[in-house]
Structure 1
Amino acid sequence: MAAAVRNHEPGRDRGRVPARRGRRRIALAGAAGALALGTAAVVVPHALADDEPLGLGEAVERLDVDEAALGLLEIGEIVETAESLTYADETTVLEFSDPDASYVKLHFERMLLTGGDYVTVSSPDGSESYRYDDSQMSRWATSITGDTAIVELHKTGGDAVSDALGAVVDKVAYGFPEDVVDELVDEKNHRARPAESLCSDDDKKPSACYENSYPDIVDHTEPVARLLIDGTVLCTAFRVGEENRMLTNNHCFSESWEAQRTEVWFGYTCTSCAGGEATEPVKVSGDHVLATSEDLDYTLFSVDDFAAVERFGHLTLSDDRVGRGEAIYIPQHPAGRPSEIAVESTVDGGNCVVDEPVYDGYVADSDVAYYCDTEFGSSGSPVLSRDTHEVIALHHFGGCPNSGVNASLIEDEIGYLI
């Protein structure tokens, strides 16, 4: 089978900071947003009646069946704005806030700085802060967890007063609260054949639930990362090989400019099996797409600060034949939540196993099928062998059985890059 490969160049109230001279506050009143998805020609078994109730009112647009089959879920809305901090202004601080937002992510139309000047985007209490000291055009800043982001221009003593110098924010992504995201997932699951599927009961559990019973499985969850693409879209990815290499689905993104608009979150997990409180993730950005394939639905890419995430380890693609009944597990970030693992399966008698070692994906015989539970946002997750802890498939599709692209096919094409 020949696959097309393109090679590229290598909570809530968190408190408020004290009012300061020169601060402007830009607030969004209300969190209502729309769910918008990419489209693809995917065969779907049935369409639902036009008059079926949505259940979320104006917060959700009616979903197109083809869109629902892709598995890309938007978890926020992007609001256009036109706010600036220039060298000619006395204002040095902007505040962007929505009382219902789970995160705030700013997009700079341009950032033109001089000397040792820089811009920071921070949480109100300063616990999360990102510095930008390069002049750039059209870039997303790293998201700030919570409902408020503070932007500050730090001038280090230069006398420049040109209106052209400074930073211009042209749009802001506000994340929906978790309960709204859960409702969006439920709504989408009931409108068409989903690309991610819960098969019977939801048997996934937070990774913390397996720390004592399956420590090796939890260890192999650490290289798995949450993706936040272009401010609002979710997928999963994982580090593969010892070098600066990440693997996700082609349907998540396929170009370097898209990678550079993608946040990659490592170490995002619940602190206990009961869920609730999560660890603070290490956030880096995607960098270059090295190879991608529509047929095998993979994208291999790098990140911009590899040193910050190298400690999370890596996974290895298997080149062995996959057998029916082989025990497997899937670490993932379903609906963008902290890491969860599908180890058990009600459908398969208790454990996740390979149901069909050869199964049709986007092309014939490309996939491995299983009844492990996944959800929207799980696209790009690794399917691992319980025996070897090697990646036997790249999860991408559902319908119960769910399926992933056979890792040996991907290894055949891009193993030399890994």
Structure 2
Amino acid sequence: MKHALRRLRTAAVTLSALTLGLSLVSVPAAEAYSVQPLAPHSERAPESEQFSAEGVTTVGELRTVDSSLSYARDGRTQVIRHPGATYVKVHFSALRLADGEYVTVSSPDGSESYRYDRHLNRATGSDYTTDGRPGFWAMSVDGDTAVVTLHSRRASRGSAATIDRFWRGYDRAEISQHNISTQSVCSTDARRDVVCYQSSHPSEYARSRAVARLLISGGGMCTTWRVGSTNRMLTNKHCFSTQSAVSGSEMQFNYQCATCGGNNPGPGTKVSGATLYKVSSGGSGELDYALYSVNNFASIQGYGTLFLRTTATTTGTRMYIPGHGDGRPKRLSIFEDTQGGTRCTVKNANYNTWNISYSCDTSGGNSGSPVLDANHRVIALHHLGGCPSNQGAKAHLIYNQIASLIVNS
């Protein structure tokens, strides 16, 4: 198995040297990469289909391709690789499988693997997302390569599945290139990987486990988190506000580095959005919330949950923010400028009707992050950057509007 995976990676690298951008190759399932594979053409999808939403960090590119898995011995595996991509998310426009047959979408090392049969049953197979068009999206695979494999005992030349599109994640330089930066890191960036605080701030570390990275419709990024003791999640309305966007999005829990400063996150646990329950009225400068649920809730219950403070906070209250700024592995903002220095505090508990303000560091992708006090209650929902007054919507006002939809204890 290890030898086959080495050959898979070697061939993918060889092919990428011959092509620019995507590599999509068809190879025999039992003899992977024993011969030079072919690379069907792919191209960037029209701009009208690319992700774009005001105030949301764009983290990926949609590409189109014409490819299929066949029952022929030399057509049962497709390797989709885009050098340098941070994730690959594959779309199947059609599955033509018999009972007992299935396809898998996996990382080359097998650390992530998602299984789909003709029934697309989340109870017996893997999670997936939809976009209102025919077919479905497999869950994203971290890294620049996704291996798509047909599992069948049938021997024929027919087509079993069609792949027509995929998202590929931008690297950090591309994220900076494709997004307008607002100055919301105030002075020196004091954020650190959450694991850096596992020993020194165990409560803050533990509460941050309920916070997830939100991949919106394949190409946008925010932060989201569990609220209350039932299947409920909160993020910003400006991140998404429709049922179709919820159904098209992924929530990635435990996406954080294993060692402090190690840049070594694992894939964590990914689930899809289920039901949109409520969005705030007014613009993104007001309460700016979206309340929804997820599929496969049992798989993420072990990460814990957060609870809203039901009364107004006060100026000077100590606070911290866990989140996925710039789409990166989860970091914590605990200190204003330097480690062990001044702690983050609420600068103005009544900045305006809807918001509190603070200079705790954030960046694009932190939208939707919880702002917690020293008692680990959520006092605000972060949604606006702009030093020295980064802003979060007042949690007690949000609670007043969603109290009947959550169990806040």
Normalising by structure 2, we get a TM-score of 0.80
Show the counterpart of 1:286: 273
TM-aligned CA distance change 1:217 to 1:100, over 3 Å: same
Correspondence for 1:5: none
Q: Can you list the C-alpha shifts for 1:202-253, whole angstroms capped at 9, x where unaligned?
A: 1111112211221111011000000111222110000111111111111111
Q: CA deviation at 1:259?
A: 1.4
Match among 340, 350, 353 for residue 345 of structure 2: 353
Deviations 1:148-169 (A, max 9, x none): 1111122255x89865xx3221
Report the counterpart of residue 305 of structure 2 in structure 1.
Answer: 314
* Letter aligned with residue 209 of structure 1: C
Is 1:91 aligned to residue 79 of structure 2?
no
Written as runs of structure 1 = structure 2, the 5 A alignment for 1:17-166 is 17=8, 20-21=27-28, 26=39, 38=52, 67=54, 70=55, 72-86=56-70, 91-135=75-119, 137-155=134-152, 166=160
2:79–2:146 Cα contact (<8 Å) kept: yes
Aligned counterpart, 1:268? 255
Task: Say whether residues 1:367 and 2:355 are aligned partners.
Answer: yes
1:79 CA drift (Å): 0.8
1:184 aligned partner, one-letter code: Q
Residues 117, 338 of structure 1: alpha-carbon distance in 2 compared, 3 angstrom cutoff:
same
RMSD between aligned residues: 2.9
Query: What's the secondary structure of 1:412's corresponding residue?
Result: helix
Give the secondary structure class of the aligned counterpart of 2:348.
strand
Judging changes above 3 Å, is the alpha-carbon distance between structure 1 residues 415 and 377 closer, same or farther for their aligned structure 2 residues? same
Query: Are 2:172 and 1:178 aligned?
Result: yes
Q: Residue 379 of structure 1 corresponds to which residue in structure 2?
A: 367
Q: 1:343 to 1:28 in 2, by over 3 A?
A: farther
Aligned counterparts of 1:305 and 1:407: Cα–Cα separation in 2: 27
Aligned to 2:180: 188
CA distance in 2, matches of 1:279, 1:148: 15
Match of 1:3 in 2: none
Alpha-carbon distance, 1:177 to partner: 2.4
Aligned to 2:15: none
- 8 Å contact kept, 2:192–2:261: no
Gaps of 5+ in 2: 12-26, 121-133
Contact 1:36 1:74 in 2 (8 A): no
Give 5+ residue unaligned stretches, structure 1.
Answer: 1-13, 40-66
2:378 matched to 1:391?
yes
**Deviation (angstroms), 1:179:** 4.2
> In 1, distance between residues paired with 2:172 and 2:6?
20
Shift of the 15–261 alpha-carbon distance from structure 1 to 2, 3 Å rule, reads farther
1:291-310 deviation line (CA, Å, top 9, x unaligned): 11243211111111111111
TM-aligned CA deviation for residue 135 of structure 1: 4.5
Match of 1:324 in 2: 315
Q: Write the deviation string for residues 102-154 of structure 1: whole angstroms up to 9, x where unpaired.
A: 22111122334331221110112222110012446332111112221111122
Cα–Cα, structure 1 residues 409 and 93, in superposed 2: closer, same or farther, change >3 Å?
same
Q: What are the Cα deviations for residues 243-294 of structure 1, in whole angstroms up to 9, with x where unaligned? A: 1111111111112221121111111111222232223311111111111124
Partner SS, residue 226 of structure 1 = strand
Q: Work out the percentage of aligned pairs sharing the same amino acid.
A: 39
SS state at 2:306 partner: coil
Partner SS, residue 350 of structure 1? coil
Q: Which residue of 2 aligns with 1:63?
A: none
Matched, 1:221 2:208: yes
- Counterparts of 1:37 and 1:249, CA distance in 2: 17
